[in-house]
Chains A and B, each alone.
Chain A
């Protein structure tokens, strides 16, 4: 069961590490590519509507 414990820890570590990087990506995108006022906030929803 020791290897199963390590498997669980390693798996969760990979999940958190990957998603932490995604948070950095999202934060960077939101900071550097802010919407211009005339561009609208939700193009997809506007398009769907």
Chain B
């Protein structure tokens, strides 16, 4: 009796012990190393709580089971987070330099290229891992560098690897300053990196800023309807910001709502990381694929940047292409830093911010495109 139901220590398996250690590691990284602490502390705590034997939090009716059913299975949490993200993003840099949108588009090759590799390693080719077509898409979505989109797409596709995908997506976003610079230096010449770009751009009116989110919903929604919930919530948040008449709501979306949902989302994702679902070779491969996804996205953005460099008569610094993946604003800051290393008078931040915010929209479109296409290919 005591052994079976009261004393959890007798029910502790080595797999659960490993997960408890992993939860502790995530908390350590969040607190001691300040790696995405806003997410890793709740996720790490969730991992520990979910793997305490006989705790019951993941059983039907338990806290994590209820939160998962209410917030993840319904896609509610990522969509609410997106309202907050939209309220935080200033699309001004993008509106001032519309051409940077193509850099965001190119960087989405990280999603599709990684999908291709994952599918090749799984059911589509070598069969080394248990990756179905939809699992491969969910893994590729890590390349969006966008947590809510990763959760949304992986959940919509019913991937069994959703927890690992989400944790990988958020972990690698924190590692952008480490992953991107070597790729940027390898794929560009010193002369290209030195190229200074003008800091001034065309001015943008308030009416443009207000109309842009509304028109974006219509354009994206009409072409990739499955992306409507994501683009709709993102742009609703941005409309709150740009309208200038609902400051209170904008601040609530950016702060109170985003914070509360982040706590619930982090705990729930951590709660999904039980030993049975997480400790498998596929999880390790998903983490490898995550690096591949970020690297491919960065490389694709840089390649289009180089095309623009040549096509513009050497007036566009190809480095800004690396900001096309949507880890905002880290990518833009990394571009600024690498640009400054090559030329101390080179300020690429605003150009890179344009590509970076374009990447935010592009990742949503790519996620929607994947969902639209699945019925035709899977």
Write the residues of chain A forming the contact surface with B, with a CB cutoff of 8 angstroms.
Answer: 1, 3-8, 10-12, 14-23, 25-27, 29-30, 33-36, 39-45, 47
CB-CB contacts of B133-177 with A at 8 A, as 1s and 0s?
100100000000000000000000000000000000000000000
Whether B101 pairs with A35 at a CB distance below 8 angstroms is no
* B219→A35 contact, CB < 8 A: no
Within 8 A of A (CB), among B326-378: 358, 361-362, 365-366, 369-370, 372-373, 377
A10 to B373, CA, bound (A): 8
Interchain CB contact under 8 A, B204 and A42: yes
Q: What would be 13 A-B contacts, judged by CB atoms less than 8 Å apart?
A: A12-B108, A15-B105, A15-B108, A15-B366, A16-B105, A18-B369, A19-B104, A19-B362, A25-B219, A26-B212, A29-B208, A33-B207, A44-B242
CB proximity to A under 8 Å, residues B243-257: 244, 247
- Alpha-carbon separation in the docked complex, A27 to B202 (Å): 11
Known A-B contacts A15-B108, A19-B104; the reply to A7 vs B377 at CB < 8 A is yes
B215 within 8 A of A: yes
Closest 10 CB pairs of A and B: A35-B205, A41-B203, A14-B369, A26-B98, A8-B112, A29-B208, A43-B206, A19-B105, A33-B207, A7-B377
Docked Cα-Cα span, A19 to B241, in Å, equals: 22
Nearest B residue to A36, CB-CB:
B205
With A19-B102, A19-B361: A12-B109 Cβ-Cβ less than 8 Å: yes
Q: Does B94 interact with chain A (Cβ within 8 Å)?
A: yes
Q: A16-B105, A21-B223 are in contact. Are A30 and B98 (CB under 8 A)?
A: yes
Residues of B95-142 contacting chain A, CB below 8 A: 95, 98-99, 101-102, 104-105, 108-109, 111-113, 115-116, 119-120, 124-125, 133, 136
Apart from A4-B133, A42-B204, what 7 extra A-B contacts exist at CB < 8 Å? A4-B124, A11-B108, A11-B373, A12-B105, A15-B366, A18-B223, A23-B101
Known: A4-B120, A7-B115, A8-B116. A41 touches B204 (CB 8 A): yes
* SS class, residues of chain B in contact with chain A: helix
In the complex, A39 Cα to B362 Cα: how many Å?
Answer: 30
Q: Considering only CB atoms and an 8 Å cut-off, how many residues of chain B contact the other chain?
A: 53
B206 touches A35 (CB 8 A): yes
Least distance between B353 CB and chain A CB atoms (Å): 12
